[in-house]
Amino acid sequence: MLRPVTVDQKLQIMDNYEIVGNTKTPTIMLNAEDGKMLIEGRSNPENAREFFQPVIDWLDEYIQHPAERTDLRINLELFNTSSSKYLLEVLRRIRYLADHDHLFNVAWLYEEDDLEMLDTAEAYEMMTGLRFEKISYPEGGEA
């Protein structure tokens, strides 16, 4: 259950969360201290729930005591349908922060010729009510 963040809450120390990506799963870096978060690579896990539930659990704890600013950077080459559900859940946690006047930025990176990934970003914006910073980069280039 999500609860509003209050200023007088005792700050709690959280561990950062990191997963090294591979050909089926993305790299995920979640830093509680500075609020910097990254989801990058390919997301096609055999069991999306098993892969993403610890991320959602971490975010549920984080939003109770967030950093001063939260910056989420999403740079996915591809993701499957089951991953898209959990990506939406991640973005809903960011929406929760936005609803409680928390500073945030969502940067959605995509290859400049990947219009489907740009359309996907716009669909997530519509579903969440968030505005993303959409950043294109050359095919095969560094984001």
Higher pLDDT, 24 or 2: 24
* Placement of tokens 């505005």 in the chain: 131
pTM of the model: 0.88
The per-residue pLDDT for 106 is: 98
The secondary element (H helix, E strand) that includes residue 98 is: helix 81-99
Query: What is the structure's pLDDT at 8?
Result: 42
Tens-place pLDDT, residues 12-68:
578 999 999 999 999 999 999 999 999 999 999 999 999 999 999 999 999 999 999
Phi-psi domain of 41 (left: phi exceeds 0; alpha: psi -120 through 50; beta: other): left
Please return the burial class of 60, using the count of CB atoms within 10 Å of its CB with bins 0-12, 13-18 and 19+.
middle
Confidence of residue 142 (pLDDT cuts 50, 70, 90): low
| Per-chain mean pLDDT for the chain | 91
From residue 143, give the alpha-carbon distance in Å to each of 19, 41, 107, 137. 19, 11, 11, 6
The enclosing H or E element of 69 equals: strand 69-79
Confidence band, pLDDT 50/70/90 cuts, at residue 10: very low
* pLDDT tens per residue across span 78-125: 999 999 999 999 999 999 999 999 999 999 999 999 999 999 999 999
One-letter identity of residue 60 = D
- The pLDDT-based confidence of 140 (bands split at 50, 70, 90) is confident
